[in-house]
Amino acid sequence: MASWNSIPLELTYEFLGWFGFSVWSISFYPQVFLNYRRKSVVGLNFDFVLLNLTKHSSYLIYNASIYFSPTVQKQYFEQFGDGEMIPVAANDVAFSAHAVLLTLVTAFQIFIYDRGTQKLSRVAIGIVSVVLLTDAVCFALAVPTHSWLRFLYNLNTLQVFLTVVKYIPQAIMNFKRKSTDGFSIANILLDLSGAIASYGQMVVQSIDQGSWSNFYGNIGKLMLSLITVVFDSFFITQHFVLYAAAKKTCKAEAFVEPDEEDDIKQHLLPCSDEPPTADNV
């Protein structure tokens, strides 16, 4: 296993990694606090939560296996060479574990708080069912040959797919309602910062090693960062540009079903003359 060539680059790598862990981890809390303050999850898309939980669970298995398993690490070196570094850092494992925990907390809030007429869609349930079935088949195929690295790459590919899919229901819901009320923008701003830091961490490692193998050796982390940047930028545009007028007037002029429109409006927070904060933007 390769070692670092530059101490400053190693320190930069560690800083970016734990900075990314911090902001990515903190990004889960604004939505949890917003749900708690409103005692309602109206405006939070349940498909997003289910897909997010499935995605982060897959990512945790991938990160923990590569970071802790000598067998998986041996297979990685056999494929990419003994001179390469393991592409998963301790902060990756810590983030994944924390993400699963906080997404479970959000899911629990869906059960205990007012959710109006909102419910999971059959499409989201179908997607998760197909992903879990595919995971089971890949695992069964890996058992006879002990090809665990290939299984983990398949798992990682599916979590990248879920990263793309999970944002779509919330984006569509915001579009239909012409509002981002009930969906924490602070979550998105922190999420974007974490994605940029994660990508920067991979760049620093590549510069130090003079090799880009950690990019194609951990394509999941790369795609997670890039996809997150794209969708978070879109959510920021929705909140501050497309639907900013609706925020100022506290009118969610939503093109949704009539029963949903009334339900959403009665659960939104009232207008306030207070300056915007992380809780009320």
d(CA 48, CA 50): 6
CB burial of residue 265 (10 Å; 0-12, 13-18, 19+): middle
Span 66-114, pLDDT tens digits: 999 999 999 988 888 877 788 888 888 998 999 999 999 999 999 999 9
Provide DSSP, 15-68. Answer: HHHHHHHHHHHHTTHHHHHHHHHHTB-TTS-HHHHHHHHHHHHHHHHHHHHHHH
Read off the pLDDT of each residue in 12-40 and give the average, rounded to a whole number: 90
Confidence of residue 244 (pLDDT cuts 50, 70, 90): confident
Q: Any idea where the domains of the chain sit in the sequence?
A: 7-267
Cβ-based neighbours of 62, under 8 Å, separated by 6 or more? 88, 96, 152, 155, 156, 159, 220
What pLDDT is recorded for position 247? 61
Read off the pLDDT of each residue in 119-144 and give the average, rounded to a whole number: 94
Q: Are 188 and 31 in contact (CB under 8 A)?
A: no
Average pLDDT, the chain: 83
**First-last CA distance in the chain:** 47
pTM of the model: 0.73
What pLDDT is recorded for position 246? 63
| pLDDT of 261 higher than 80 | no
What pLDDT is recorded for position 258? 47
